[in-house]
A and B are shown apart, each in its own frame.
Chain A
């Protein structure tokens, strides 16, 4: 049975084309995916991301639990409100999920996990808790919805609708959060633009969404969400990494703390199996569209595209790919597309941010 967010009827009313995503009935676009993409880069747009699951992790051992559970180090979270991106690994070093953890207060964290992996993640966390015998409660908050408002004008539009939120959220640097009444407002996102991700009671969500719409914020579907995140060089779980892929080969080395003496699930496996592949960007120089699983042929061996699309900002095709370690940025490689070998250039895996092309 497909699950629905609290805004399902609203999306249909707005003319959304709906698709199944991770077991959820979600808007793919509301007319034109490309126009939605440009709206976020040039103005602002809003996404219903309530299919993602907020989980409150609380209790006297909450910090000790997260220190062992995830690969990034929650000891970096010193100020209340600070957020951290991390992978959650299994014993073989594969990625169970990627998530954001917010430090709310001592003994109190909120993590946000992916939709398709939520049940698996919760079972995994419950099993680790039982194994480690820690006093922590992990409570999935399906009573909450999540709306992301992203783009150069996103914050101003949110403040227009929620004037009381301005003083608490205006000083926030990226990757922080503040609680304003029933709204949990974070300066995180998945587009490469400034903005907020706002967690709020499901019962208040339709009213909030409609006010944002009246303020001129355009609804954006999952289609543009994918092209925006790909341009920003952000990984998608299940595509750029999964339980069979080391985070070191998926461009996530920057999120893995192998320096501190802290032990965490998957650390021993990562130390035993160092990085095998580089995670880099490709820019297609010929005409065509790069797609996941296409073979990349380089003078140092073969690689594979993990995510590919047409970039509306660059007006050419881009991809994220796992490539042999000897490949260098600036190299030209071949990509096998149907019966042709097309030429692509290796670039840093970040194509556009803050409205501007970076390659």
Chain B
């Protein structure tokens, strides 16, 4: 499994990167895209939307199934990757560069409680 060690993760298969400006970037893991198969549709949240932790933020659909993407922590959507809905296969090709949205966390310390790469690897292997 491709699980970069510099990212944080959730049990629901989101990856999180902490940016220098106090925001976080969120996408789905390589393991998640592999489970879903070829993605054909991605729906992103509106910029400015306030999300609670674990609230549905985006939807990714493969040929076979729809899957929710959750906010890893509470926060406000500051930016979305508009290129992804036009080319959902980018997530299959490189799940860690095809990010979905950025959040300004209500409390940046919440990110520390997310899984590290080793803990995610263990959770994903279950």
34-85 of chain B: CB within 8 A of chain A = 34, 37-38, 40-41, 43, 59, 61, 63-64, 66, 85
Rounded to whole angstroms, the CA-CA distance of A309 and B92 in the bound complex is 18
203-260 of chain A: CB within 8 A of chain B = 223, 226-227
Rounded to whole angstroms, the CA-CA distance of A227 and B37 in the bound complex is 13
Segment of A84-92, A154-162, A285-293, A296-304 engaged in the interface with chain B: A285-293
Taking the nearest CB of chain A, how far is it from the CB of B64, in angstroms?
6
Report the interface size class on chain A. Answer: 10 to 19
Q: Which of A17, A223, A338 contacts B63 (CB 8 A)?
A: A223
Given A28-B37, A32-B38, residue A310 in contact with residue B61 (CB < 8 A): yes
- Judge if A34 is at the interface, Cβ distance under 8 Å: yes
Question: Which of A223, A289, A291: most chain B Cβ within 10 A?
Answer: A289
Closest A residue to B40 by beta carbon equals A310
- Judge if A72 is at the interface, Cβ distance under 8 Å: no
Taking a contact as CB atoms under 8 Å apart, the answer to whether A33 and B41 are in contact is no
Taking a contact as CB atoms under 8 Å apart, the answer to whether B41 and A223 are in contact is no
Q: Which of A17, A226, A289, A338 contacts B40 (CB 8 A)?
A: A289
Taking the nearest CB of chain A, how far is it from the CB of B56, in angstroms?
9
Given A33-B64, A223-B64, residue A310 in contact with residue B41 (CB < 8 A): yes
- Judge if A322 is at the interface, Cβ distance under 8 Å: no
Taking a contact as CB atoms under 8 Å apart, the answer to whether B66 and A289 are in contact is yes
- Judge if A29 is at the interface, Cβ distance under 8 Å: yes
Which residues of chain A have C-beta atoms less than 8 A from B34's C-beta? 17
Taking a contact as CB atoms under 8 Å apart, the answer to whether A338 and B38 are in contact is no
Taking a contact as CB atoms under 8 Å apart, the answer to whether A33 and B63 are in contact is yes
Rounded to whole angstroms, the CA-CA distance of A291 and B37 in the bound complex is 16
Taking a contact as CB atoms under 8 Å apart, the answer to whether B41 and A34 are in contact is no
Taking the nearest CB of chain B, how far is it from the CB of A35, in angstroms?
8
Rounded to whole angstroms, the CA-CA distance of A34 and B40 in the bound complex is 10
Taking a contact as CB atoms under 8 Å apart, the answer to whether A33 and B38 are in contact is yes
Rounded to whole angstroms, the CA-CA distance of A291 and B34 in the bound complex is 20
Taking a contact as CB atoms under 8 Å apart, the answer to whether A223 and B66 are in contact is no
Rounded to whole angstroms, the CA-CA distance of A312 and B66 in the bound complex is 16
Taking a contact as CB atoms under 8 Å apart, the answer to whether B85 and A289 are in contact is no
Rounded to whole angstroms, the CA-CA distance of A94 and B34 in the bound complex is 38
Task: Return the CB mask of A176-208 against B: 1 if under 8 Å, else 0.
Answer: 000000000000000000000000000000000
Taking the nearest CB of chain A, how far is it from the CB of B76, in angstroms?
20
List, sorted by A's number, 8 A–B pairs whose CB atoms are closer than 8 Å. A32-B38, A32-B92, A33-B64, A223-B64, A226-B64, A289-B41, A289-B61, A312-B63
Residues of A within 8 A of B (CB): 17, 28-29, 32-34, 223, 226-227, 287-289, 291, 309-310, 312, 317, 338
